[in-house]
Structure 1
């Protein structure tokens, strides 16, 4: 039997709380969260009190000075991922890094190199890779029983606005990264092929009414992606959708079709005959829709610490970030963008460069 793992939780917000709960309440026989890190002392101490965690720190560096750990779970805003991951990897710790992996491909490559040099595992936070229905669909597609994927349609609709920093493409790369990078990862996973080009179109329907003034903010997105295999994919995003959390995928293959996901545990059906309507519950949030997957995700992290292969790693995270960058460039330029345009060593996202200049 493996020795109980000591986990440092970096970020005490919604996702940090979710992962802490999964470990402490469901996986306590294999691991414990032994430190909570968050720049907000109040938020960190509240989470620590709830789960009896004694070490509370305002930085990862402080936590590394005060304790010994086997792994680090990073759940902080995207623009902090690069520095935090490099610090954890330099300490020789296994890392679970929430999506998106980083702000750009250069950062992704530096994180990848650090993990390889340290000889530790790097797992990316794409929870759909740990959801039973999504995994079953991927295995069915790999089996060839229904032929090759031709068209993949994926959507994610979120119920509310994300945090303020995520509304600004300079600090988050926008909704395409913060919401729909799950779709970008899923379509690549299901296609089992490398993406070639993306064309994204966006609209802003609710921003003004919700008090969002960030330049280039959008709450509605539709993107098309082409793959080397010839498969085509569409990605649709709405956030806030208000009606609930919605994540679905449909794959039409040369020999059949597979659908994954529904609007709720029992689905949602509307029968428009006369005035009669029949409805079932809708998922309120991503925490409800992927509750079991989040536990499986943390279990997989513990497994890789014991030598199991990583199920979603640096290459997958980098691919999704490249699609995010190409999609954002497509939005800003109003044209299709080849993924190769954003993966070269000299590519610097103009919107991120502007942000860096403003900070200097």
Structure 2
């Protein structure tokens, strides 16, 4: 207990009261292990001993409080409030009475000394920290649920993507795979023809629809393709071969005929596309038809870039528009135009210039 003590005089009432020493200094002195010897200078600081000291107010009351006087260090320097707050922060001790320390402890560790509660999730409870009611939860669920327009747009987008993928696959099939398959089938048919010719299995004469009987050579275009009877897509053209107009009402002559027009049809795009570049032929370019017994050499004479598919006069014995005016031995190549369409037809004509037996070897057009 720290309180004022009266100074006694003989036979006198309470006189002048002397203040106690600075409590901080007294604390240091009481904490020391021994007292100073008699007659020695005191080891504690007595500076400012004459200054009055006021005890701290009781923290448990509601009375007026007087600020604590600045404490003094051993050298007589006063401790300011900022130094005290710094020291309390460094040591973890909160200045003030028990109520202040208790309040600070509640702020740091919660009411019961545990960790402070985490902040509320803004996505969970409603604003204000309270949990969502059923109505509010349903309302938020409906707000998050996509509407009919969003669902329709997603479905339409998926349809477009699927359609695009299917179209890409179809185009790849048409432009690439049909050519691969048709070239393989045409090469197989050409090899089979040459093997049969070498073994003598076939002889000139009439041929069944779809049956190969000759090989067409266009040296300028690097084309070597079998010729089959008929112009059926399934049996002839789609298998990479060219077809001979050999059925009525579009029946034309064979190469060995004394006069007539040997007319052929072939794809310009896809399925081997043997006639894709016949528009590049110029007058005088050779076109050779190889059979079991002979080579028939034609020279390109003219071209009709565009005509109607129903214009069958271009394969007459004396084809109209070719420039030929008398009967002769002609060849006609027909294909679709423009590219990747079948709206019109392109026609190329040639006239036979040489008939060479196989026993004499290949003609000059195939040797060069």
TM-score by length of 2: 0.22
TM-score by length of 1: 0.22
Hey, which of these two has a bigger chunk of helix by percent? 1
